[in-house]
Amino acid sequence: MPELITFDSLVAPNSLDGSAGSNRGKGHMQIAAQEDRAAILAWLARYADSPATLASYRKESERLLMWCVLQHRVALSSLTHEDLLVYQHFLANPSPQAMWVIAPGQKPARHSPLWRPFAGPLSPQSVRQALSIINSLFNWLVAAGYLAGNPLALARRQRNHRAPRVTRFLPMDHWKAVRTTIETLPHETGRKRAQAARVRWLFSLLYIAGLRVSEVCDTTMAGFFSRRGADGKERWWLEVKGKGGKTRLIPATTELMGELMQYRRSLGLPALCAHDETTPLVLPLHKPVKPMARTALHEIVKSVMRGTADRLRKSGNPEDAAAAAHIEQASTHWMRHTAGSHLSNQVDIKVVRDNLGHSNISTTNTYVHAEDDARHDATSGAHRAGWTVK
């Protein structure tokens, strides 16, 4: 298998580096980049505080630049609308496969000679997502004066997608099936009990609190705190730093606090957190104690989804088989969509917006505790994972 030059080590010849691209802007530039790779890096730098977005945007811009230089032999800043039609077909079938696609069963690191930018052909939905990201890149490069125009601007907009994003959540019946899998995880040994406790706590954070996986990784248990409301009632909250470094308060419902205390007891920790505690929200099973990687959390979630799907298929019921096919596609981020979808059926949409951090929270809201208290009560009263109480 031939070794592929990666984005990090890619050095394009002068004819392909974009310094003389036919679509380069002619006026004053707002960035210092003089060639395509530097321009991409300037765009990516804007997302340094959003690891998940940065990883996704880097992947798609990297694929495009590598394809331009190594296969299509056209500088990114010389691409035309027709070139991008060719690239769209390439995404659906990256070839030659030996050059672009990772061998089955392998997960090589980026520095490995076996690394490739694709795991296989992209689905129609993934192709649309890739082109949407590239369109954002081109729009920004035009606004920065680096490009004269966006060659994707002429693309036909598809209004009716076969797989709309609304399907990327678990209906209540599917969530109940996943919950059953978690509640019946084996407990025969100390390690299995620790694994089961961690899985249940992780899904509590993803469903009850609606956290992003990056927020699970980056938040410590000191994020939990109690505050007395205007009505004299004590309420628990979880403070997280979300996308773009924006801080938000999430209602730590009675159920979530119960799960927190149960998880901490399983670790031999006091039931409640200290205000300066550095313990990660989710811990590895072995030392040293450090935040778990996003990939490890993703694998825990995928393992539960696969286990649920396997169990449902064994019933022989056609409806269970259909549910299994849907559930096994679910990812960590599906749990966030699931939380938002289920909560929106029960409370005002503004509660969902603020809990999930879908819009900016003004400075004034920091002081309007009465509104926060009402949001806490609405969330506590309506939104539960429904774990079996032990």
Distance of CA 41 to the CA centre of its chain: 21
- 284 in the same domain as 211: yes
- 274 in the same domain as 136: no
The pLDDT tens digits along the chain (390 residues) read 344 555 666 777 888 999 999 999 998 999 999 999 999 999 999 888 878 788 889 999 999 999 999 999 999 999 999 999 999 999 999 999 989 998 888 888 878 888 889 989 998 888 988 998 999 999 999 999 999 999 988 765 554 444 344 468 898 999 999 999 999 999 999 999 999 999 999 999 999 999 999 999 999 999 999 999 888 999 999 999 987 788 899 999 999 999 999 999 999 999 999 989 999 999 999 888 889 999 999 999 999 999 999 999 998 888 889 999 999 999 998 998 888 888 877 776 677 778 877 654 332 233 234 456 667 877 887 888 888 876
Query: Quick one: pLDDT at residue 359?
Result: 58
- 343 in the same domain as 255: yes
Amino acid at 45: A
Decide if 11 is inside a domain. no
151: domain CATH number is 1.10.150
Q: Which of 136, 163, 190 is the last residue of a domain?
A: 163
- 325 in the same domain as 217: yes
How far is residue 290's CA from residue 281's CA, in Å, rounded to a whole number? Answer: 10
Q: Which of 163, 197, 220 is the last residue of a domain?
A: 163
Decide if 378 is inside a domain. yes
- 152 in the same domain as 87: yes
How far is residue 384's CA from residue 172's CA, in Å, rounded to a whole number? Answer: 12
Q: Which of 115, 146, 163 is the last residue of a domain?
A: 163
354: domain CATH number is 1.10.443.10
Decide if 31 is inside a domain. no
| Helices 349-356, 369-382: crossing angle, 10 deg rounding | 100
How many other CB atoms sit within 10 Å of the CB of residue 128?
16
How far is residue 87's CA from residue 85's CA, in Å, rounded to a whole number? Answer: 5
Q: In what order do the strands lie in the sheet with 224-228?
A: 224-228, 234-241, 247-251
Decide if 387 is inside a domain. no
- 81 in the same domain as 157: yes
CA-based nearest residue to 167, from 355, 330, 383, 356:
330
C-alpha dihedral (160, 161, 166, 170), degrees to nearest 10: 140
- 124 in the same domain as 193: no
How far is residue 73's CA from residue 66's CA, in Å, rounded to a whole number? Answer: 10
Q: Which helix (H) or strand (E) holds 129?
A: helix 124-143
- 105 in the same domain as 71: yes
Decide if 258 is inside a domain. yes
Decide if 388 is inside a domain. no
Query: Quick one: pLDDT at residue 177?
Result: 95
Decide if 362 is inside a domain. yes
pTM: 0.58
**What does R_g of the chain's alpha carbons equal in angstroms?**
24
- 178 in the same domain as 114: no
- Domain span at 234: 172-382
- 90 in the same domain as 57: yes
Number of domains in the chain: 2
- 138 in the same domain as 50: yes
- 338 in the same domain as 242: yes
Decide if 124 is inside a domain. yes
Query: Quick one: pLDDT at residue 104?
Result: 85
Q: Is-contact 217 297, C-beta < 8 A?
A: yes
